[in-house]
Amino acid sequence: GTPTDYDVVNGAPYQFRSITYILTICGQRTPVTVAAVQSLWSEALKLPGQQYSMQGFFKSCSYGKVEFNPARNIVVEVSLPCTGTA
């Protein structure tokens, strides 16, 4: 059942927000892409055979009280150069 004692914001679902950085450091790229992470975030972008998403996880585990909208959870690539002194 739905818990009755969990009222985040006047009965409306809490809008979870985040920024995920995919780093390239000193020219070394990670094998993870923005599209791959976004497929893990969104129910609509799940890959064939992928059972779960963060969007579904938040909906299920919070009984619909926390909403994980992929449009509010940004994934960006950032390149960090190798400059400076040790």
Q: Which of 18, 56, 22, 15 is nearest to 37 (CA)?
A: 22
In DSSP terms, 19 is beta-bridged to 74
Supply the pLDDT for residue 36: 92
More confident residue, 25 or 5: 25
Supply the pLDDT for residue 6: 52
Phi, psi of 24 (to 5 degrees): -110, 120
pLDDT at 18 over 90: yes
Please write the tens of the pLDDT for every residue from 40-75.
999 888 888 888 999 999 999 988 889 999 999 999
User: What is the token pair recorded at 55?
Assistant: 């969007």
Supply the pLDDT for residue 13: 85
Side-chain-facing half-sphere of 77: CA atoms under 13 Å: 13
pLDDT at 39 over 80: yes
